[in-house]
Amino acid sequence: MSVDKIFEALSSAPRRRILAYLSKTDMTAGEIAERFADMMSQPAISKHLSVLENAGLVWREKRGMNVHYGLKEDALTGTLVHFLAEVCPRSCPFRKDSAAAATRKKKDGRRA
Amino acid sequence: MSVDKIFEALSSAPRRRILAYLSKTDMTAGEIAERFADMMSQPAISKHLSVLENAGLVWREKRGMNVHYGLKEDALTGTLVHFLAEVCPRSCPFRKDSAAAATRKKKDGRRA
């Protein structure tokens, strides 16, 4: 998992929109494509999903006829917690929030 | 200010390192270049600084013989707060932290 790849993946509005959908529920490739039907082709969506998968931000699973996608929540939040801890100035309200969130995450014993 | 540009700017380790330096203190272009002296040329650093400036993440000011750079903290945290609010699942510890931070920011009446 490369931090460069993660931020690169986040630098596209359609990819951020896909992540927003997946943060609510897992979806099939077809369901995702439907949401973009008026603005993007299926191959274009597949390309975006592939970028997200390569960045380690989504998982992909073939079930019968459908390919399902879901958010890898820990990859997303872990990267941002680390980034904020490094870059946020002392005055930044995120600084202590992210530190507290990181501590809670650790206590919860969830996968990093 | 484009969110795509901001994430694109963050997709480079040297640029994230520059932001980390600038989160501690404003620096001159020369001081920044010194920190990378063993791995990168001055023109390469100038290019990275220009990407960060174009993304709206740093300010630049000529003072006498020197060019000073500093972090635009609100652009960075504002973008991330908004992104997290949109993308973080309900279970994500960041979700309520970022909402609380956004509320405090608003109350403080700080520039967006």
How far does B63 lie from chain A, in Å, by closest CA? 23
Which residues of B fall below an 8 Å CB-CB distance to A? Answer: 3-8, 10-13, 16, 19-20, 23-24, 71, 73, 76-77, 80-81, 83-84, 86-89, 91-94, 97-98, 100-101, 104-105
| Residues paired with residue B61 on neighbouring β-strands, in sequence order | B68
Which one, of B70, B71, B78, lies nearest residue B112 by Cα?
Answer: B78
Are A87 and B4 in contact (CB < 8 Å)? no
Q: Which helix (H) or strand (E) holds A61?
A: strand A58-63
Confidence check: pLDDT of B24 > 60: yes
**What's the gap between Cα B102 and its chain centre?**
17
The C-alpha atoms of residue A85 and residue A24 are separated, in whole angstroms, by 26
DSSP state of A2: -
The C-alpha atoms of residue B94 and residue B85 are separated, in whole angstroms, by 8
Confidence check: pLDDT of A110 > 80: no
Instruction: Give the residue with greater pLDDT, A102 vs A65.
Output: A65
And the tokens for A15?
A: 């990819």
Q: Which residue of A has its CA nearest to B101?
A: A93
Are B93 and A104 in contact (CB < 8 Å)? yes
In total, chain B counts a number of residues equal to 112
One-letter identity of residue B57: L
Are A89 and B10 in contact (CB < 8 Å)? no
Rounded mean pLDDT of B85-101?
63
- Is ipTM beyond 0.85? no
Task: Determine the pLDDT at residue B50.
Answer: 98
The torsion angles phi and psi of A106, rounded to 5 degrees, stand at -65, -45
The whole-model pTM stands at 0.82
Instruction: Give the residue with greater pLDDT, B25 vs B86.
Output: B25
Q: Cβ of B68: how many Cβ atoms within 10 Å?
A: 15
> Which residue among B5, B16, B104 places its CB closest to the CB of A87?
B16
The DSSP bridge pattern shows strands A27-28 and A66-71 to be antiparallel
The C-alpha atoms of residue A56 and residue B6 are separated, in whole angstroms, by 20
Confidence check: pLDDT of A91 > 60: no
Q: Cβ of B27: how many Cβ atoms within 10 Å?
A: 21
